[in-house]
Amino acid sequence: MDEALSILVVDDHPFYVDTLAAVLGVNGFIVHKAYSGEKALEILQDHPVDILLTDVNMPGMDGVELYRKTKKIRPSVTAVLMTSSAEEVLIRKGKAEGVKAILDKPVDIEFLLTLFRSINRINTSSQ
């Protein structure tokens, strides 16, 4: 990759965040980790992020609400939602908000890497 994408991984299950962060980091991405929507918003204040990879169902703030708030801080962010049992209403809201993709958990790592590389190519070619 010419310039590494910065990805914020958000999930209320630390093991899932840590595992995804490790895989993404080994594959050349800059990774930030948060275990809640509130912590993610704190990170976004100080760190430019290209991609928000977030769980849909989390206590407190769900992934769609997090994306909505993220766009106010980082308008150009690309969002990818992950879910194991999201309500269809949240999925529809995410799509309406402009989410790039909604992935079933457990996430297919090869597909995720391919998706992020394609986003990187699009970002790089539009600069």
Is the model's pLDDT at 1 over the cut of 50? no
Task: Report pLDDT digits (tens) over 107-116.
Answer: 999 999 999 9
Half-sphere exposure of 20 (CA within 13 A, CB side): 30
pLDDT at 72: 95
Q: Which two tokens stand for residue 28?
A: 């050349």
Task: Report pLDDT digits (tens) over 51-94.
Answer: 999 999 999 999 999 999 999 999 999 999 999 876 788 888 88
Question: Which residue has tokens 């194991």?
Answer: 84
Q: Mean of the pLDDT values across residues 4-28?
A: 97
CATH class as words, domain 6-122: alpha beta
The answer to whether the CB of 63 falls within 8 A of the CB of 100 is no
What is the pTM for the complete model shown?
0.92
Q: Which two tokens stand for residue 53?
A: 């990879």
